[in-house]
């Protein structure tokens, strides 16, 4: 309805052609009262200009969407606002996603869980973004990892398979594993992703003692830059585990399994392998519970890691 000569605009109804809820925060026209509804595009009759500030609902983490001097129309009891949809509904400056290997994610003290993380550039321009990862426990965020200055070409998406170790002193309970992309130094968040996981009261003998992360960002077309024994998943495991390793160049590879006595429990790889990321499964159905070591011999490098079989 039109304002009283001494009173504010009271906007009782609105529609949106942008399909997103908009809150009009400030209009220099007698301090209007505005309901949190949608706006409609209308043909102008009487036109004037005022500086506006719009907010999405809920508020965007990167702040208000400021539109300077859009077209405003008044006709009878109608107030119409015209602006560019791209301004009201801007594309995200980065995309981040995380998918756990299994769901629900339940892990004992000293265990680990696997996930695939993806960071991408949905814009038509090159970008540089940060990614930071952590856990939320009892309402508090604890940052674990920080990947600064990731350069992405237009429409480029980069993926990684990661193994997140859980320390043996982590309190049991429900957590959220969360990743953000944006500008970490300023705290500007453009996108986020999370999933819940549960730490049980069970304890893995000789398990992890810190929130270490195994794996790293790569693209599907890039070759690994160095030899790496990425890790095993799940850990602890029952019956079978998948071991991942990377080769920067082709060559002879040996991947062996040993028990605590130093006896070889399996020979998984023994021969020539092409460069790239490789995965191999160890079926331990015929072996007793306990701690086992897997050793990769590739090029001039030797790596050894530990995994736990629980039956």
Place of tokens 């993926």: 159
Q: Is 160 exposed, middle or buried, given 0-12, 13-18 or 19+ CB atoms closer than 10 A?
A: middle
What's the pTM? 0.50
Q: Which domains does the chain have, with CATH numbers?
A: 16-88 (no CATH), 95-214 (2.60.40.10), 228-309 (2.60.40.1930)
The tokens of 5 are what? 């000569």
Output the pLDDT for position 240: 87
Q: How far is CA 20 from CA 15, 84, 192, in A?
A: 10, 13, 20
Local confidence pLDDT in tens for the 311 residues of the chain: 334 444 444 444 444 433 333 334 333 333 444 433 344 333 333 333 333 433 333 333 333 333 333 444 445 544 454 444 433 344 457 889 898 988 899 999 889 999 988 898 887 788 889 999 999 999 899 999 888 888 888 878 888 888 899 998 999 999 999 999 988 888 888 889 999 999 999 888 877 888 988 876 544 445 677 898 988 878 888 888 888 888 889 899 999 999 999 999 999 999 999 888 788 999 999 999 999 999 999 989 999 999 989 88
């Amino acid at each position: 309805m039109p304002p009283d000569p001494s009173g504010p605009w009271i906007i009782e109804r609105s529609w949106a052609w942008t399909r997103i809820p908009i809150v009009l925060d400030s209009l220099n026209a007698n301090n209007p009262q505005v309901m949190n509804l949608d706006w409609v595009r209308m043909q102008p009759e009487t036109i004037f200009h005022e500086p506006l500030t719009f907010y999405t609902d809920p508020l965007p983490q990167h702040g208000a969407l400021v539109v300077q001097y859009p077209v405003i129309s008044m006709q009878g009891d109608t107030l119409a606002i015209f602006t560019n949809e791209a301004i009201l509904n801007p594309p995200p400056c980065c995309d981040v996603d995380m998918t756990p290997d299994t769901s629900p994610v339940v892990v004992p003290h000293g265990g680990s869980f696997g996930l695939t993380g993806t960071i991408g550039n949905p814009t038509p321009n090159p970008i540089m973004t940060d990614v930071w990862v952590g856990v939320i426990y009892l309402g508090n965020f604890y940052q674990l990892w920080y990947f600064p200055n990731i350069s992405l070409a237009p429409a480029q998406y980069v993926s990684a398979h990661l193994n997140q170790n859980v320390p043996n002193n982590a309190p049991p309970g429900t957590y959220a594993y969360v990743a953000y992309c944006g500008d970490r130094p300023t705290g500007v968040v453009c996108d986020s992703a999370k999933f819940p996981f549960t730490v049980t009261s069970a304890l893995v003998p000789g398990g992890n003692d810190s929130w270490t992360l195994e794996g790293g960002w790569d693209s599907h077309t890039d070759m690994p830059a160095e030899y790496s024994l990425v890790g095993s998943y799940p850990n602890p495991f029952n019956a079978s585990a998948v071991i991942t390793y990377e080769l920067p160049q082709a060559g002879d590879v040996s991947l062996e399994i040993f028990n605590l006595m130093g006896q070889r429990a399996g020979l998984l790889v023994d021969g020539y392998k092409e460069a790239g990321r490789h995965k191999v499964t160890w079926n331990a159905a015929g072996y007793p519970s306990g701690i086992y070591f897997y050793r990769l011999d590739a090029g001039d490098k030797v790596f050894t890691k530990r995994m736990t079989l629980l039956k």
